[in-house]
A and B are shown apart, each in its own frame.
Chain A
């Protein structure tokens, strides 16, 4: 069963996104097909050069870079949300795919779960 985990909340403010990421990693651990979609303020997870030492939190940018290693099949970024937050593929971590129509994407997965 393929699962799409949707993160629509910004990084760092709450735990919801991290829990969703954890869920994605757990599915990948058991070789279940899983992908991540970042939309709304959630696209900010993907921005490069996050420097978190002063806020004493783990960098979600670095955490996310482990996703392909763990077997997460894809990381999508909603194109409209990227425009809103002035993010281009160049500004984002490696391996991100732009999703021009996130509703089409949702239809491709058996199960979709939103963070939080």
Chain B
């Protein structure tokens, strides 16, 4: 059921059109990865979308993602264990996918 609200995505699961992103789409994309979004996820998603708006790119690698979160939200959130628990796999990649941003350039 959730599938029907996921807009077109590329072979890596990133949105084809950034403008297709909605909070509902994020919930559906996350669900497809077995992630149920709570307010901790949303805090990071909002941070990432703001980052993209300001810098015209997502943090380009996982390390820089962690660094950027630390800079903006503090040490408690800006560490790889915290982010790994919220966004399993490569956190930067998983989080960008859910936030409707392009794939971080240096995340394979």
Contacts and interface: CB of A to CB of B under 8 A. Distances in A.
Instruction: Decide if A and B touch, CB cutoff 8 A.
Output: yes
A102 interface: no
B106 interface: yes
Interface in B51-82: 51, 54-57, 59-61, 63-64, 67-68, 71-72
A69 B66 CA distance: 11
Interface residues of A, number: 15
Interface stretch (A3-11, A57-65, A81-89, A105-113): A57-65
A33 B68 CA distance: 17
A69 B55 CA distance: 11
Given A22-B105, A26-B106, A29-B61, A59 B56 contact: yes
A63 B57 contact: yes
Interface string A20-53: 0010011011100000000000000000000000
B60 A58 contact: no
Contacts of B63: 29-30
Which one of B56, B72, B106 has the highest number of Cβ atoms from chain A below 10 Å of its Cβ? B56
A66 interface: yes
Interface in B32-60: 51, 54-57, 59-60
Interface string B67-108: 110011000000000000000000000000000000001100
A81 B70 CA distance: 35
A69 B56 contact: no
B58 to A, nearest CB: 10
A66 B68 CA distance: 9
A65 B55 contact: yes
A47 to B, nearest CB: 15
A66 B67 contact: no
Given A22-B105, A69-B71, A29 B64 contact: yes
B12 to A, nearest CB: 20
Contacts of B67: 28-29, 69-71
A25 B64 contact: yes
* A-B pairs, 4 with minimum CB distance: A62-B56, A29-B63, A66-B55, A58-B56
